[in-house]
């Protein structure tokens, strides 16, 4: 085999037959590059050959010796086929055992030498090697072992394609691989003590020692984080060159808006507001993320920004992830700023409404509302992403606000501009999920951050308890007492995780489709609703809310709950974000162990928004100490920022961000927790761009960066 390149199709590589090709395609592997970038997720350490006489129980080891005898027998009790071999070397002998693998007797020949790697196990006072890997060596023990010596890579597998099979394919390909061009400049490799790309590929798959594997992993993590930092920094540079409408506001006008609020702003609200106002006054686009705990008052700052834009004749598109939240923001603005007469509209798939102040609203057809927006008569438009759909055109868009969606991509900005491509609107994103420091330096590195660090005065701390199965009835009784006092309760049903439903352990986890997952979540909500409304609280008013309901139905149920027509609302995570019901003081979460800490924090933030003491009950049937320790951290964390760091440590960035948030490979996602590596990549990217903004001196890097920009998705 000679002259193999990364772009070579595996079907053209000798030794990779159609059977292997079909199995590899199930893992999305079609080319040599796909295969070589299918990295091991761990390594078995068989780096030392241990004499048989020195083996210890529970030790993972490699031995080399001769097969003294081998046979297969059937057990009468469990009807199992057991293959047993006696392996001997100069220091003694040991038995090796394989279950239901009778073909082993056709492979391992008596009197021949082999290398074996496995775990030493004890049973009935006898020690043996349990199902060891094996491969032939010559009698002088000079054979090169792929599967039983050194650090042995263990890969993500699919049915019928084992780590051993993958090693069998990769080893000869690496021998015949043409030199791989490195896109990272040599000075960057030297400065950060990284191996070249060609060396890193080989060390990733077949490291001689642990340091080799760690260095290769660091190399691949570095290159992805470095490309991400380049992406963020070039985006910032481009944004700095883009014009935006300068939207200054006179001090007395801003003071008038703030003084007429029905409450006082906190110190950090004022600081964040001044940062936003300063950005709006500049002739280049603001690109800011406003983060703060649930209920810390982010929406009012966004609304003030919209009114500042309106004072200068500019329009604002204010987007929320759900119709329920968009409707709530609409009502909040009308209630908080009744004097504003510039036109506030609600535009969702099911609602079109317009108000010009004094609490007077008028419903109108979508067509008529779109004409008003296009004419510039409506200064603030609230809605879901319907706001940027086909048919919606702004006369003078100056500000885009997005709630609970960290990212706002290029395609979405383009959709908002529609004919105004020569300039960009200012952009403000809001999040109640605080972002850990490493993520703010990488995934969100192109955004300027404003942070609200305290809650409005008068808010009471929410009492949070983990409820064990034996205390369920007591919790129900407490909830009843609260409702009898006039309070209300949310009940959240467990999320059905993809890959957690298994009908048969031997078949592995059942990977759920999105439709199947939603159907199971709907079932869990309906079952909980029926249990509570018919058995636990038959005398109380119980409602149900889930994502499959039509928008009008969801809005009506939420409105009725806010108007105290229901005592209990049973829901999926559709109420996770932003819903405001001050009279609700109970948050009961079923299957709390199935949610991430950040999401549990969001749920808890739905209560504690009024004058009454509020409570959050975390129901779990899990007896796992790890589960309870994780839930305890929700109780102990002083604020959302502390909790976000904890959540990142426990679940890792992949789950924190969402499975498909970035498109970064696992090796880079894991590295997002390494603050020193994150800083190193940022510093390196800054230094390179300051000397070569267009990367013209580094064509290989420029090509790779362009490929990365196409593949990455941060929206």
Mean pLDDT in order along the chain per 10 residues (715 residues): 82 85 86 92 80 88 90 82 92 90 89 89 86 77 56 79 84 91 95 95 91 93 91 84 91 92 90 96 91 83 96 93 84 91 90 86 90 94 83 90 64 55 81 70 76 77 89 94 94 64 35 53 79 93 85 82 93 68 91 81 83 91 78 78 69 52 63 82 93 93 89 60
Residue 712 CB neighbours (<10 A): 15
Three-state SS at 490 = strand
DSSP state, residue 415: H
Give dist(CA 632, CA 641) in Å, integer: 16
Rounded-to-integer distance, Cα 674 and Cα 669, Å: 10
Listed residue (571, 90, 624) closest to 324, CA to CA: 571
* Number of residues assigned to the chain: 715
Tokens of 646: 């904890």
> Among candidates 381, 380, 360, which has minimal Cα distance to 313?
380
DSSP state of 498: T
- CB-based contacts of 267, cutoff 8 Å, min separation 6: 454
Q: Same topology for domains 48-148 and 463-502+511-638, yes or no?
A: no
Predicted TM-score (pTM) of this structure: 0.68
Measure the CA–CA gap between 22 and 8, rounded to whole angstroms: 16
The pLDDT of residue 431 is 81
Cα distance between residue 371 and residue 253, in whole Å: 30
Q: Which residues pair with 122 in a beta bridge?
A: 127
Query: 315 in helix, strand or coil?
Result: strand
The count of other CB atoms within 10 Å of the CB of residue 637 is 18
The torsion defined by the Cα of 381, 383, 386 and 391, in degrees rounded to 10, comes to: -20
Is 494:524 a contact under the CB 8 Å cutoff?
yes
CA angle, residues 88, 92, 96, in degrees to nearest 5: 50
DSSP 512: P
3-state secondary structure of 405: coil
| Residue whose pair of structure tokens reads 């490195």 in the numeric block | 182
Residue 500's pLDDT is 42
* Exposed/middle/buried for residue 421 (C-beta within 10 Å: 0-12, 13-18, 19+): exposed
> Largest Cα–Cα distance of the chain, in whole Å?
96
Q: Which residue has the tokens 């008013």?
A: 541
Asked whether the CA dihedral 599, 426, 243, 254 is positive or negative, the reply is negative
Q: For residues 214 and 211, what is the distance between their CA atoms, to the nearest angstrom? A: 5
Q: Write out the two tokens for 307.
A: 């009114």
What is residue 636's predicted lDDT score, i.e. its pLDDT? 80
**What is the per-residue pLDDT for 413?**
53
Cα–Cα dist 4/176, whole Å: 6
Strands 463-467 and 615-619: parallel
What is the CATH number assigned to the segment(s) 48-148?
2.40.50.140
- d(CA 289, CA 402) in angstroms, rounded, equals 9
Q: What's the rounded Cα separation, in Å, for the pair 40 and 538?
A: 55
Q: Which CATH class is domain 251-281+297-431?
A: alpha beta
Q: Where are the beta strands (DSSP E) in 287-391?
A: 287-292, 315-319, 344-347, 352-355, 361-363, 380-383
Cα angle, residue 356 at apex, residues 353 and 359 outer, rounded to 5°: 80
Dihedral angle computed from the Cα positions of residues 298, 299, 301 and 304, in that order, rounded to the nearest 10 degrees = 180
CATH number for the segment(s) 463-502+511-638 = 3.40.50.300
pLDDT at res. 355: 92
What's the 3-state SS for 125-192? CEEEEEEEEEEECCCCCCCCCCCCCEEEEECCCECCECHHHHHHHHHHHHHHECCCCCCCCHHHHHHC
Contact predicate 627/650, CB 8 Å: no
Q: How many CA atoms lie within 13 A of 355 on its CB side?
A: 19
Name the residue ranges covered by the structural domains of the chain. 48-148, 251-281+297-431, 463-502+511-638
Q: In what order do the strands lie in the sheet with 615-619?
A: 463-467, 615-619, 584-589, 488-492, 568-571, 542-545
Determine the Cα angle at 247 with ends 375 and 440, to 5°.
Answer: 110
Q: Are strands 361-363 and 352-355 parallel, antiparallel or unpaired?
A: antiparallel
- With contact defined as beta carbons under 8 Å apart, do 602 and 615 qualify? no
Cα–Cα–Cα angle for 623, 626, 630, rounded to 5 degrees: 110
Q: For residue 302, what are the contacts with CB-CB under 8 A and spacing of at least 6? A: 290, 318, 401, 403, 428, 430
Residue 664 parent element (H or E): none
pLDDT value at position 513? 52
First-to-last alpha carbon distance for the chain, in angstroms, is 43
Listed in sequence order, the residues at least 6 apart from 162 whose beta carbon sits closer than 8 Å to its beta carbon are none
């Amino acid at each position: 085999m000679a002259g193999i390149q990364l772009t070579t199709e595996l079907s053209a590589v000798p030794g990779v037959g159609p059977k292997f090709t079909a199995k590899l395609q199930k893992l999305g592997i079609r080319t040599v590059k796909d295969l070589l970038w299918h990295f091991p997720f761990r390594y078995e350490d068989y780096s030392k050959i241990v004499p048989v006489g020195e083996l210890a129980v529970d030790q993972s080891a490699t031995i080399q010796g001769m097969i003294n005898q081998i046979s297969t027998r059937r057990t009468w009790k469990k009807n199992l086929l057991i293959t047993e071999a006696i392996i001997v070397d100069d220091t003694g002998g040991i038995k090796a055992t394989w279950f239901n693998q009778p073909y082993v007797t056709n492979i391992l020949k008596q009197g021949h030498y082999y290398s074996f790697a496995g775990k030493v196990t004890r049973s009935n006072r006898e020690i043996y090697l349990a199902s060891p890997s094996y491969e032939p060596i010559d009698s002088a023990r000079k054979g090169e072992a792929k599967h039983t010596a050194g650090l042995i890579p263990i890969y993500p597998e699919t049915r019928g394609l084992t780590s051993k099979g993958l090693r069998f394919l990769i080893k000869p390909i690496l021998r015949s691989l043409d030199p791989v061009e490195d896109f990272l400049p040599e000075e960057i490799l030297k400065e950060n003590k990284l191996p070249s790309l060609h060396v890193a590929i080989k060390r990733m798959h077949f490291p001689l020692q642990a340091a080799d594997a760690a260095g290769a992993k660091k190399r691949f993590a570095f290159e992805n984080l470095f490309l991400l930092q380049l992406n963020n920094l070039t985006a910032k540079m481009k944004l700095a060159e883009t014009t935006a409408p300068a939207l200054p506001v006179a001090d007395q006008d801003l003071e008038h808006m703030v003084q007429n609020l029905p409450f006082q702003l906190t110190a950090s609200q004022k600081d964040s507001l001044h940062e936003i106002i300063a950005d709006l006054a500049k002739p280049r686009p603001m690109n800011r993320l406003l983060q703060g705990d649930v209920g810390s008052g982010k929406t009012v700052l966004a609304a003030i920004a919209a009114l500042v834009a309106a004072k200068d004749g500019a329009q604002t598109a204010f987007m929320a992830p759900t119709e329920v939240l968009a409707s709530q923001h609409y009502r909040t603005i009308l209630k908080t700023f009744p004097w504003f007469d510039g036109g506030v509209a609600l535009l969702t798939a099911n609602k079109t409404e317009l108000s010009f102040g004094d609490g007077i609203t008028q419903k109108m057809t979508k067509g008529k509302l779109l004409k008003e927006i296009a004419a510039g008569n409506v200064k603030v438009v609230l809605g879901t992403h319907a706001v940027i759909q086909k048919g919606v055109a702004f006369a003078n868009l100056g500000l885009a606000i997005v709630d609970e969606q960290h990212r706002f991509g290029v395609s979405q900005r383009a959709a908002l501009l529609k004919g105004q491509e020569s300039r960009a609107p200012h952009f403000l994103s809001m999040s109640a999920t605080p972002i850990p420091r490493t993520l703010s330096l990488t995934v969100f590195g192109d955004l300027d951050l404003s942070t609200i660090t305290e809650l409005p005065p008068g808010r009471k701390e929410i009492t949070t308890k983990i409820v064990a199965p034996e205390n369920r009835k007591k919790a129900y009784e407490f909830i009843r007492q609260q409702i009898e006092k006039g309070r209300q309760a949310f009940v959240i049903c467990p999320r059905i995780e993809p890959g957690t439903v298994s009908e048969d352990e031997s078949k592995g986890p059942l990977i759920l489709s999105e439709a199947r997952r939603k159907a199971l979540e709907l079932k869990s909500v309906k079952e909980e609703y029926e249990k509570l409304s018919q058995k636990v609280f038959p005398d109380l008013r119980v409602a149900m809310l889930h994502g499959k309901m039509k928008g009008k139905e969801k809005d009506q149920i939420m409105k009725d709950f806010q108007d105290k027509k229901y005592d209990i609302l049973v829901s999926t995570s559709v109420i996770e974000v932003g819903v405001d019901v001050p009279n609700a003081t109970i948050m009961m979460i079923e299957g709390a162990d199935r949610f991430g800490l950040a999401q549990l924090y969001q749920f808890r933030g739905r209560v504690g928004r009024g004058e009454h003491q509020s409570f959050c009950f975390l129901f779990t049937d899990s007896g796992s100490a790890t589960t309870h320790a994780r839930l305890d951290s929700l109780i102990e964390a002083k604020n959302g920022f502390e909790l976000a760091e904890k959540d990142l440590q426990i679940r890792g960035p992949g789950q924190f961000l969402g499975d498909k948030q970035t498109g970064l490979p696992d090796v880079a996602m894991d590295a997002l927790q390494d603050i020193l590596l994150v800083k190193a990549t940022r510093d390196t990217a800054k230094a390179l761009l300051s000397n070569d903004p267009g990367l013209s001196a580094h064509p290989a890097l420029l090509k790779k960066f362009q490929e990365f920009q196409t593949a990455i998705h941060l929206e």
